[in-house]
A and B are shown apart, each in its own frame.
Chain A
Amino acid sequence: MSPAARRWAFLIAGSGLVAFYLWGLTGLPGFGDYPGPYGTIINQVAVTQTKATAVVSAINFEYRGIDTVGEEFILFAAAAGMSVVLRKLREERETEPADEADSRTVPPSSSAVRVAALLMVGPTAVLGWWLASHAQASPSGGFQGGVILASALLLIYLAGEFLSFRRLSPDALLDAVEAVGAGGFAAIGLAAIVMNLPYLYNYLPLGTIPGAVSSSGTIALISFFVGIEVAAAFTAIVGELLDQTLLRSA
């Protein structure tokens, strides 16, 4: 199909889509007129039931816990799938970084970038850790914290330390951490079955003060495992992409 024909086909189909959407909107309650009972009910019962003040985390790691197991394994499978798709092909070989550019001087990253990036590594890692371990209290949780933990490692790369980045995140270690994170979540759920409770039942003491670090039982624990899983998965994904720059066709 020529680009012009494609544009026309899209124009017709797109305007049909918009027309149906607008028609559908006429039957919906307007913005701000929340009709459903679920959100209202869960806002009223969640804090008392789970001792977590962050209702979103309570939903993710307790009420919809099974969905989140699936969600975590989607990420796990994507990271694994990526290393399968990007595996070294027969005609490719891995080259040592920077041994092909003898004649060309690579400008080093500026001192300002290096200092700023390296200064931010520590605070970023602390922030990620804090988010991953406070899912029960505030807008945070394992997914957010894990991504920020992974970006702490990426700051090392940004500072021009590709080799340090890879040394700090060897594949074997990443695989192990990822497995501990994903498996830990599933194991917390299975432990409930061993105790003759429903899968992912919150069997740990809930604590007395809602939102305290020790409160909310398995919610905080699951979030922490999710955090390390996500950090490892994202580091693996980014490392996989960065490794592509080292591959050369023979």
Chain B
Amino acid sequence: MGIFPFLVVAWVVVAGLYGIVTSRDLIHQIVCLIVVQSSTYVLLLGVGYVTGGAAPYFFDIPLHTKAVDPVVQALALTDVVVEAAVTALLLSFAIQAQKRFGTLDPTELAEFKG
């Protein structure tokens, strides 16, 4: 496996960024931002992986079993929550942009002044 998961991270980031840069629609742009952010899940869980490690839940496995890093998993949870909050807010901004200016195209929106 080596560095394969980390290459996936790079691919997901760049694919998402490409979408953000070339997007012609705010909703599409928000989805691209979610794509970029989902790369952090792969990165966090990849960093904490221990070869042959079990999930860090010692309910039905004996204590001191080799397990993966739970700290990055907790961080991934925070990540998901923040993403949900950010997405919700951005979507409401998109709704207001559509209402005020009648368009969701970022290029056209740039021509309007607040």
Q: Mark A75-103, 1 if CB is under 8 A from B, else 0.
A: 10111011001100100000000000000
Question: Please, how many angstroms separate the alpha-carbon atoms of A138 and B60 in the complex?
Answer: 10
From DSSP, what is the main secondary structure of chain B's interface residues? helix
The one of A14, A36, A43, A234 that contacts B14, using a Cβ cutoff of 8 Å: A14
Residue of A nearest to B70 (CB): A55
- A3–B63 Cα distance when bound, in Å, is 57
Interface of A (DSSP majority class)? helix
The answer, yes or no, to whether B41 is at the interface (CB within 8 Å) is: no
**Candidates B13, B14, B21, B70; contact of A56 at CB < 8 Å:** B70
Cβ of A9: which chain B residues have Cβ within 8 Å of it? Answer: 21
Could you tell me if A82 and B82 are in contact, using CB atoms closer than 8 angstroms? no
- Give B15-44 as 1s and 0s: 1 = Cβ < 8 Å from A's Cβ atoms: 001100110000000000000000000000
Cβ contact within 8 Å between B58 and A56: no
Given contacts A33-B51, A56-B74, contact A6 B22 (CB under 8 A): yes
Whether A56 and B77, one on each chain, are in contact in the complex, defined by CB atoms closer than 8 angstroms, is: yes
Known: A38-B69, A210-B59, A211-B59. 19 other contacts (CB 8 A): A10-B21, A17-B14, A31-B3, A31-B5, A38-B71, A42-B70, A42-B71, A53-B57, A53-B58, A59-B74, A60-B77, A71-B78, A78-B85, A79-B85, A85-B93, A86-B96, A89-B99, A237-B88, A241-B95
The 4 closest A-B pairs by CB, nearest first: A39-B69, A78-B85, A32-B51, A55-B70
Residues of B within 8 A of A (CB): 1-6, 10, 13-14, 17-18, 21-22, 46, 48-51, 53, 55-59, 63-64, 67-74, 77-78, 80-82, 84-86, 88-89, 91-93, 95-96, 99
